[in-house]
Amino acid sequence: MLDDIDRRILRQWQAEPTLAPAELAERARVSTGQLARRQAKLREAGLVTGVRAVIDWAALGYAVEVSLRITLDKTQARAFDDFIEAAREVPEVIEIQTFLGRVDIRLSVIARDMPHYQHLYRSRILTLPHIADIEALMHVARIKSDEGLPL
């Protein structure tokens, strides 16, 4: 299990994943050798699986992001499987999440502008199988997005 040194390293590492090892070691108050050994151990244990680049869809021309909260017709035994399979075929879908709660499935959909979104919504979203109800939340701003863990 993790000790205080691991937690210190993980806290600093997740705060700035591209930090140079020397700087990260200093912030975590460990030697660079100790840092390298601990990082290797965390990777081997599968606790850290790498560093990903996060894409800014707006910079790629996708100015609109909508969160669609979907309730499925659960009388259909394959409702979840059919729906997810079909949603994967829509290129503008960037997230598919399933939930326990009032919402069954949530899709994150990106579009170039509102006319593009309207087109997608009518031709690709509303045509997905077994939808009972659908609610949209329009994304305005991202206030916090580090997705760090409270270690």
List beta partners, residue 70.
105, 134
What whole-number distance in Å separates Cα of residue 50 and Cα of residue 42? 10
Question: Is 46 near another protein (CB under 8 A)?
Answer: yes
| Separation between Cα atoms, residue 136 and residue 145, nearest integer Å | 20
Helices 32-44 and 4-15 cross at an angle (nearest 10°) of: 90
22, two tokens: 């020397």
In the complex, the smallest distance separating the C-beta of residue 82 from another protein, rounded to whole angstroms, is 15
CA distance 6 to 4: 5
Out of 72, 92, 120, 130, the only residue in the binding site for another protein (CB under 8 A) is 92
59 touches another protein (CB under 8 A) = yes
Q: Does 77 bind another protein (CB under 8 A)?
A: no
Q: Is 94 in the site for another protein (CB under 8 A)?
A: yes
Is 150 a residue that touches another protein (CB under 8 A)? Answer: yes
When asked if residue 48 is in the footprint of another protein (CB under 8 A), the reply is yes
Candidates 3, 4, 50, 77: give the one binding another protein (CB under 8 A).
50
How many Cα atoms within 13 Å fall on the side-chain side of residue 112? 4
40 sits near another protein (criterion: CB under 8 A): no
The yes or no reply on residue 3 touching another protein (CB under 8 A) is: no
Long-range contacts of 50-53 (CB under 8 A, 24+ apart): 51/17, 51/18
Per rule CB under 8 A, count of chain residues that contact another protein: 59
In the DSSP assignment, the letter for residue 47 is: S
CB of 134 to another protein, least distance (A): 12
Contact set with another protein (CB under 8 A): 2, 10, 13-14, 17-18, 45-57, 59-62, 67, 69, 84, 88, 91-103, 106, 110, 135-151
